Copies of this chain bind each other. A is one copy, B any other.
């Protein structure tokens, strides 16, 4: 079986940079199965990338290699690393882009990559990460890549807070349908049911359902979503527009 290599960047779809990154990886003598996760992430947005990476990459078969290039500090003093979390391997800048993955799988090993003098200062994806991927694909052990690191940069992550008034959280992702994914885990769903609903921005959502189609078109609903998190949605509509919500909009169970 071919090894799987996934790619997550903010380079833009149809970007010459994505093509050059793939071209460099395909120089391996045992070329991998390439899987594009996303190339249209918001530019320089490490937090959004971190959520996508944590949700998507950890789902792949054990031993997959994930290359993540959202790297506003490319070429500066920030480290660039190989890391193993659980059964997944990553090649990425050490800028917090693994924060959400690190909250869900423990760091088993990490290595600081050397930056060759010939690397373009603005494109370490092509000139540092892809060559490291080729070395791994061709069978070199990770410890040949550079010195061991004990930890990686982690961005503070918005965690739900319990207060006298109830539980406070926020929207952490808006999907392509406009569904609002919150940071409230599915384990809090009985609390939502007991409270009779969810507060989101200035709205109260009292229609609690198992799936989107369980209410009439246009109804604002709350449910346990497929990512293991509580979501707000509008049946066959866009909750982000209807509820004027975005990443960061407060959510609470009172």
Confirm or deny: A103 has a beta carbon within 8 angstroms of a beta carbon on chain B: no
Q: How far is the CA of A120 from the CA of B74 in the complex (A)?
A: 39
Give the interface residue-count category, chain A.
35 or more
Determine whether the beta carbon of A26 is less than 8 Å from that of B4.
yes
Decide if B72 touches A236 in the complex (CB within 8 Å). yes
Interface segment among A37-45, A104-112, A147-155, A241-249: the answer is A37-45
A225 partner residues in chain B, CB cutoff 8 A: 120, 122
CB distance B26 to A14 under 8 Å? no
In the complex, are the beta carbons of B213 and A75 less than 8 A apart? yes
Tell whether, in the assembled complex, residue A12 and residue B175 are in contact, meaning their CB atoms are under 8 Å apart: yes
* Given A20-B56, A26-B33, A44-B236: A122 touches B12 (CB 8 Å cut-off): no
A227 CA to B122 CA, complexed, in Å: 10
**Binary B-proximity of A31-70 (CB < 8 A = 1, otherwise 0):** 1011111111101100000011001110111000000000
A121 is an interface residue with CB less than 8 A from chain B: yes
With A4-B26, A76-B214, A236-B44 already in contact, the answer to whether A13 and B13 are too (CB < 8 A) is yes
**Max chain B C-beta neighbours (<10 A), residue from A29, A76, A175, A212:** A212
What's the number of copies of this chain in the assembled complex?
3
Q: How far is the CA of A77 from the CA of B226 in the complex (A)?
A: 18
Task: Give complex CA distance A252, B33 in Å.
Answer: 44
Distance in angstroms from A143 CB to nearest chain B CB is: 27
Interface of A is mostly: loop
Q: Are B59 and A24 in contact (CB under 8 A)?
A: yes
Specify which chain B residues have a CB less than 8 angstroms from the CB of A24 in the assembled complex: 59
Tell me whether B120 and A226 are in contact (CB under 8 A): yes
Assess whether A126 is interfacial by the CB under 8 Å rule.
yes
- A187: interface (CB < 8 Å): no
Q: List residues 1-40 of chain A with CB under 8 A from any CB of chain B.
A: 1-2, 4, 6, 10-20, 22-24, 26-27, 29, 31, 33-40
Q: Are A176 and B11 in contact (CB under 8 A)?
A: yes
CA distance A226 to B1 in the complex (A): 34
Contacts of A120 in B (CB 8 A): 225-226
Q: Are A56 and B19 in contact (CB under 8 A)?
A: yes
Write the chain B residue with the least CB distance to A1. Answer: B31
Given contacts A55-B20, A59-B24, contact A74 B213 (CB under 8 A): yes
Given contacts A72-B212, A72-B213, 4 further A-B contacts (CB under 8 A): A14-B37, A16-B227, A26-B60, A76-B211
Closest 5 CB pairs of A and B: A12-B176, A75-B211, A14-B38, A123-B226, A19-B56
